[in-house]
Amino acid sequence: MKGESGKFKIMSILEVQQVPLSPVPCLTEKQKEIEEKKARKDYSGLLPAEIGTDYSFKREIVWTNAMGFLLLHLVALYGLWVMVFHCMWLTDIWAGIVAFGSGLGVTTGAHRLFSHKAYKAPFITRLVLILFHTLAGQNCLYIWVRDHRQHHKYSDTDADPHNANRGFFFSHVGWLMSRKHPAVIAKGKTIDMSDMEADWLVMFQKEHYKVLYTIFAILLPTLVPVLCWQESFYNSFFAAYMFRNVLVLNMTWLVNSAAHLYGNKPFDKYMKPVESSFVAFVSVGEGWHNYHHAFPWDYRAAEFGSKYSITTMVIDFLAWAGLAYDLKTTPYHMVQKRAERTGDGSHPIYGEHAKKLETVGKLDDKDIAEIIKSKEPGVRRLVTAQG
């Protein structure tokens, strides 16, 4: 007994000495290495969680951009006044149509087709969607797609161009009037854009963006009312270009700001994006953002909201007309599994189960997409989500 108790005593001393000595210095070394890398602005090899958000980082404001955006919004407000009190009603309807078309160019084209490859489309569809995207005036498709892919890959960290941890204003418009964080610059260079570079339509728009912007975003929307129903150039310019353009910009920006801040997280409570029916309404179907960040390849970008999503209806219509195919969805069991394991319990069907589960961390299953509406009728198949 004496010997055994002596042995026990020796073991416990060893344990007491070993426990604090082994894991803690190891973590500290890693942390030190991460902080040193960040200080050197070397973000190579750093994971999103390691980049995080440095709240002490001081943003440098680009004053010409800030004044430009302020002026743009003031002129847009004047445009609203012109629209309400001076324009012919046909011009107002036209401004609405252009706003809707340019919005679809962003959601159906830039977002779901080009950024996420959520479906495939023949040349004619891609051409029309690029024209509609040009109408929206949100920079060329190449830059739009790169920023958006980076936003998904480094969501809500310093490497995300519109990191929502920096607040509503920054993620809405502030990021466009600030110098880029060094992490955004470093990680932006690592985004795979080979598919965009291989598409001559995309590169043509990039190359000639200023001319195309002048023709499709400014002149075309302004001249149609002037030539077709004798509206004055002045009224048409302020309604169909200035007000319409700023309205669509703000509707798009709400996806980056409000849909990352105010709402519930039925699919993944560990991420910042939320479900927002308000943003879904104003952005023609892009507000179901917790689902979208959980399953970015899904052409519906929503589960429940997909029934009322105009963008999804448009893609379904294109598929029906033979103008889109190989639509990627998410297998039902995968949505259930994710909602139960990582949701915040607010899912109307799987929520109760999720509330009862202990925290189990992120789902590490391989992302699987189910292809529907293939060119071969009746074929449904499973592929890796990025394929």
Q: What residues line the site for Zn ion (CB under 5 A)?
A: 273
For 372, the enclosing helix (H) or strand (E) is strand 368-372
Pairwise CA distance, residues 309 & 370, whole Å? 20
Of 174 and 273, nearer to Zn ion (C-beta) is 273
Of 103 and 273, nearer to Zn ion (C-beta) is 273
Closest residue to bound Zn ion by CB: 273
Of 273 and 305, nearer to Zn ion (C-beta) is 273
Q: Are 288 and 203 in contact (CB under 8 A)?
A: no
Please state the closest distance from residue 56 (CB atom) to Zn ion, in A. 24
Please state the closest distance from residue 219 (CB atom) to Zn ion, in A. 30
Of 79 and 273, nearer to Zn ion (C-beta) is 273
Query: Could you tell me where the DSSP H helices lie in the chain?
Result: 2-21, 23-39, 48-51, 63-85, 89-104, 123-136, 141-153, 168-172, 182-188, 194-197, 200-207, 209-212, 220-229, 233-236, 244-256, 277-282, 289-294, 310-320, 332-342, 351-356
The three-class DSSP label of residue 225 is helix
**Tokens 């929520």, residue located:** 351
Of 258 and 324, nearer to Zn ion (C-beta) is 258
Please state the closest distance from residue 196 (CB atom) to Zn ion, in A. 15
Please state the closest distance from residue 188 (CB atom) to Zn ion, in A. 16
What is 133-201 written as a DSSP string? Answer: HHHHTSS-HHHHHHHHHHHHHTTTSTTSTT-GGG-HHHHHTGGGGBPPPHHHHHHHTTS--HHHHT-HH
Please state the closest distance from residue 116 (CB atom) to Zn ion, in A. 6
Of 273 and 285, nearer to Zn ion (C-beta) is 273
Please state the closest distance from residue 115 (CB atom) to Zn ion, in A. 6
